[in-house]
Amino acid sequence: MSDYLMREDAPITEEVWAAIDEMVISVVKKILVGRRVIDLVGPVGWGVEVAPLFAFTEQDGAAIATPTTEYVHLEEIAEEFMLRARQIAISRQTPYGLDLGAAAIAATKLAKTEDRMIIGGLASLAECSGALGDWDTLGGPFRAVADAVAQLRATGFDGPFAAIMSPAMYARLASLFMHGRRELALVESILADGIFQSTDPAVADQVLVLSPQPWNMDLVVGQDVTTAWLGNVGLDQHFRVFETLILRLKRPGAVCVLR
């Protein structure tokens, strides 16, 4: 473990560190949606601050990267939490164990921020849009998603495709059923990469249909989610959960927003 996280200086045991790590990582894994949809590059290290973002063109009929390379900065996102000295004392002197609720809350906020960057980023940079249509009538969702897929294919983006939508939209989709025909199954049949539910505000009232191949988009991670010790505040211990990352939407036409 890199000492720049100052973990070795923290006055807590290896067991407590292990419990914090397990709590943070398990919470983050449960919440993250963006990383389930797009590919990850890295972790390349905290010290790496930029990533190349290539754009593509054609030269004499051959696909080729544009002559100038843009570099995007990895952003650092962080949440902090504290462990009271009393909590640690309770965990040592009673059978109740260490309550890591504060770490879980920080990890939850961090995961939501990461998804904000990915899903919000995809929605705001998308270059394709379509009508959401009627999601309360059988056939409505399938028509909207099929139109988006057709648009993507027509502009050079082949599948497999995926969709990101809110739990409320997913519930409306899943509730459409008549004469043995399930709307959800029909929509899934054209979204081979899956349907993902997210509570991110970017998909509160719209649906993203995308071709999430790594040549269209990926996520560069510098420092993957980790916990550093910041020091003590009186007797209490102060921690930071953080990561560095950047969404690279290489071909913004690969995302279609249904609104």
Q: Which of 11, 13, 22, 134 binds another protein (CB under 8 A)?
A: 22
Site size toward another protein (CB under 8 A) is 34
CA atoms 104, 109, 112, 113: torsion sign: negative
CA atoms 218, 220, 224, 230: torsion sign: negative
Query: Toward another protein, which CB reaches closer, 50 or 233?
Result: 233
Q: What is the rounded distance in angstroms from the CA atom of residue 227 to the CA atom of residue 238?
A: 10
Angle at 154 between CA 149 and CA 157, to 5 degrees: 65
Q: What is the rounded distance in angstroms from the CA atom of residue 196 to the CA atom of residue 18?
A: 30
In the complex, what is the shortest distance from the CB of residue 116 to another protein, in angstroms, rounded to a whole number?
16
Q: Indicate whether 67 belongs to the interface with another protein (CB under 8 A).
A: no
Q: Indicate whether 40 belongs to the interface with another protein (CB under 8 A).
A: yes
Query: Toward another protein, which CB reaches closer, 183 or 243?
Result: 243
Burial of 255 (0-12, 13-18, 19+ CB in 10 A): buried
Q: 142 Cβ partners below 8 Å, 6+ apart?
A: 183, 186, 187, 190
Q: Which of residues 171-230 bind another protein (CB under 8 A)?
A: 224-228, 230
Q: Indicate whether 3 belongs to the interface with another protein (CB under 8 A).
A: yes
Q: Which of 109, 116, 143, 238 binds another protein (CB under 8 A)?
A: 238
Q: Which of residues 45-64 bind another protein (CB under 8 A)?
A: 46-47
Structure tokens at 107: 């990890």
Q: Indicate whether 38 belongs to the interface with another protein (CB under 8 A).
A: yes
Which residues in 180-218 are b (16+ Cβ under 10 Å) and which e?
eeebbebbeebbebebbbbebebbeebbbbbbbbeebbb
Query: Toward another protein, which CB reaches closer, 24 or 203?
Result: 24
Query: Toward another protein, which CB reaches closer, 142 or 161?
Result: 161
Q: Indicate whether 35 belongs to the interface with another protein (CB under 8 A).
A: yes
Residues that bind another protein (CB under 8 A): 1-4, 6, 9, 14, 17-18, 21-22, 25, 28-29, 32, 35-40, 43, 46-47, 224-228, 230-233, 238
